[in-house]
Amino acid sequence: MHQTKNGNEWNFGMKAQVGVDSQSKLMHSVVATAANVADSKILPQLLHGRKDAVWSDQAYRGQAKDIAKVAPKARDLPNQRYRFRGNVDEIGRIRNQMKLTMRSRVEHSIGVFKRVFGLRKVRYRGLSKDGNRLFVVCALSNLFMARGQLMLRAT
């Protein structure tokens, strides 16, 4: 774990980067990193070769080459900057809003492991132990989100 400054506030901890399937909302890859590691450095670890689109936020802009290496058929669809020096590009803003409908699926899966399993803040026990706890909670979150389909198959 490492400390980092966000605005005027110092934080000490780790980040969880999650790769989510856009159809089922299930997490297929999870990476735990120290708080000072840039989001864009983790992107290749979150992808698999069968992806056809990568919906991401602005932290992953300009990563088309990394995406093409891991998932050659995937389209890079990050949110783009639509406000520059007080000028607002309305077309860019509308495009970002359309992308947010897909990104909300990712946020839903993250919300499950935060809300249902209480993994908002982690007490420091080392990056490996806290990472293992994160991986278990993500697996349980997948089971929690797929419980309806699993119960139908059991009957």
In a domain, 7, yes or no: yes
Which range in 11-15, 93-97, 119-123, 130-134 is most confidently predicted, on average pLDDT? Answer: 130-134
Residues forming beta bridges with residue 27, ordered by sequence position: 20
Integer CA distances (angstroms), 14 to 27, 84, 134, 143, 146, in order: 19, 31, 11, 24, 27
pLDDT at 31 over 80: yes
Q: Is 66 within the bounds of a domain?
A: no
Return mean pLDDT, the chain: 79
Does residue 97 belong to any structural domain of this protein? yes
Rounded CA-CA distance 90/38 in Å is 29
26 vs 99: which has the higher pLDDT: 26
What pLDDT score was predicted for residue 141? 92
**Residue 143 pLDDT level (bands cut at 50, 70, 90):** very high
Band of pLDDT at residue 139, cut at 50, 70 and 90: very high
Whether the CA torsion 109, 131, 13, 45 is positive or negative: it is: negative
- Compute φ and ψ for 27, nearest 5 degrees: -80, 130
Per-residue pLDDT at 53 exceeds 80 = no
> For the chain, what is the domain count?
1
The arithmetic mean of pLDDT across residues 111-121, rounded, is 84
- SS3 category, 33: strand
Supply 77's token pair.
């669809």
- 84 assigned to some structural domain: yes
Instruction: Give the three-class secondary structure for 32.
Output: strand
**Beta strands of the chain (E only): which ranges?**
2-6, 9-20, 27-34, 53-56, 75-78, 83-84, 87-88
Residue 89, phi then psi, degrees to nearest 5: -90, 105
| pLDDT average, residue stretch 140-151 | 88
Instruction: Look at residue 73 and tell me if it is in a domain.
Output: no
Residue 54 lies in a domain: no
For residue 63, being part of any structural domain is answered with no
Residues 11, 44: contact at Cβ < 8 Å?
Answer: no
d(CA 95, CA 58): 13
Taking residues 23-33, report their average pLDDT: 86
- Quick count: other Cβ atoms within 10 Å of Cβ 115? 11
Q: Please give the average per-residue pLDDT across 92-101, as a whole number.
A: 75
Domain that holds residue 85: 2-47+80-148
108 domain-assigned: yes
pLDDT on residue 82: 66
How far apart CA 155 and CA 150 sit, in angstroms, is 9
